[in-house]
């Protein structure tokens, strides 16, 4: 296998994550929002193979494409497929599945052959079920931490846009909002965990990724593991499958 330098990019709704792989090793990684490209620019070299999983806006994608083209990098923009690397996509329209979710499922299958609940806590939270035989059974999408906060502050008259903290019995509005958001997200995860456990006949693994995973993780009452680079791992799996041998 030709070990070419490759750049992996996970372009989310709110921020961008990236990693550089050289000689089979992850040698650099980082994240940024879409207003500061300096860290990513420092890693750009002509001739690098670039693979992108994007769910961001068309405007952000255009900026990213221009940046890469100016450096002589031709990027491959990934999409969900019906099957890859032992994972079968049972979405009614496979390419409609968010590519970030698809990359997460591919990465999970490389880690284990157990049933897994894959949770990505970002701008939206997705909770996806993968069976022991690699079938993506389906998943749910709910607003993430910030979207829930925005909905309450914009849709109610007396909920201020203030930072609260989780409390078992909140006694301020800000704490009540934050605790309610955490409870709603944890409840969604708990419900899908129970569904997958029932369908599988065994307790599944639960893996959390996404920028707000650490907000939710301490309050989950199901065993869970934090895997921050899960989407990038999936992108790398696809990249290795498409590199020349």
The candidate with the shortest Cα–Cα distance to 120, out of 24, 217, 34, 42, is 217
| pLDDT over 80 at 225, yes or no | yes
Q: What is the CATH number of the domain that holds 148?
A: 3.30.420.40
* Residue 166 tokens, joined: 């989780």
| pLDDT over 50 at 107, yes or no | yes
118 and 73 within one domain: no
Contact 5, 49 (CB under 8 A): yes
pLDDT given at position 163: 83
pLDDT given at position 245: 36
Instruction: Indicate if the alpha-carbon torsion angle 90, 12, 10, 215 is positive or negative.
Output: negative
| CA–CA separation, 129 and 189 (whole Å) | 11
* Within a domain: 89: no
208 and 142 within one domain: yes
| CA–CA separation, 14 and 60 (whole Å) | 10
CA distances 102 to 52, 74, 112, Å, are 12, 22, 16
148 and 41 within one domain: no
pLDDT given at position 155: 87
* Within a domain: 98: no
- Average confidence (pLDDT) over 218-244: 90
170 and 67 within one domain: no
Residue with tokens 């090793």: 25
166 and 72 within one domain: no
pLDDT given at position 1: 41
pLDDT given at position 23: 85
* Within a domain: 238: no
pLDDT given at position 2: 55
pLDDT given at position 41: 92
Give CA angle at 127 (195, 185), nearest 5°. 95
Catalytic residues: 100
Give the domain range for residue 31. Answer: 6-77
- Average confidence (pLDDT) over 29-42: 90
* Within a domain: 107: no
15 and 60 within one domain: yes
* Within a domain: 99: no
Number of domains in the chain: 2
| CA–CA separation, 81 and 188 (whole Å) | 26
* Within a domain: 91: no
222 and 122 within one domain: yes
């Amino acid at each position: 296998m030709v070990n070419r330098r490759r750049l992996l990019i996970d372009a989310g709704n709110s921020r961008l994550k990236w990693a550089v792989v050289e000689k089979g090793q992850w040698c650099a990684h980082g994240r940024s929002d879409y207003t500061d490209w300096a860290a990513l620019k420092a890693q750009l070299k002509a001739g690098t193979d670039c693979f992108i999983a994007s769910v961001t806006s068309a405007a952000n994608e255009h900026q990213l494409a221009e940046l890469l083209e100016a450096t002589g990098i031709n990027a491959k923009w990934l999409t969900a497929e019906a099957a890859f690397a032992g994972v079968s996509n049972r979405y009614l329209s496979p390419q409609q599945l968010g590519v970030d979710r698809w990359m997460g499922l591919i990465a999970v299958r490389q880690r284990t052959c157990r049933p897994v609940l894959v949770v990505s806590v970002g701008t939206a939270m997705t909770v996806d079920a993968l069976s022991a035989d690699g079938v993506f059974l389906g998943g749910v999408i709910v607003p993430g931490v910030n979207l829930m906060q925005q909905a309450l502050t914009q849709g109610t008259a007396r909920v201020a846009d203030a930072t609260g903290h989780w409390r078992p019995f909140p006694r301020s509005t800000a704490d009540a909002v934050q605790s309610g958001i955490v409870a709603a997200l944890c409840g969604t995860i708990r419900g899908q965990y129970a569904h997958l456990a029932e369908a599988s006949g065994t307790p599944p693994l639960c893996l959390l990724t996404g920028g707000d995973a650490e907000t939710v993780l301490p309050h989950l009452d199901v065993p869970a593991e934090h895997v921050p680079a899960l989407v990038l791992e999936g992108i790398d799996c696809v990249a290795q499958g498409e590199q020349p041998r």
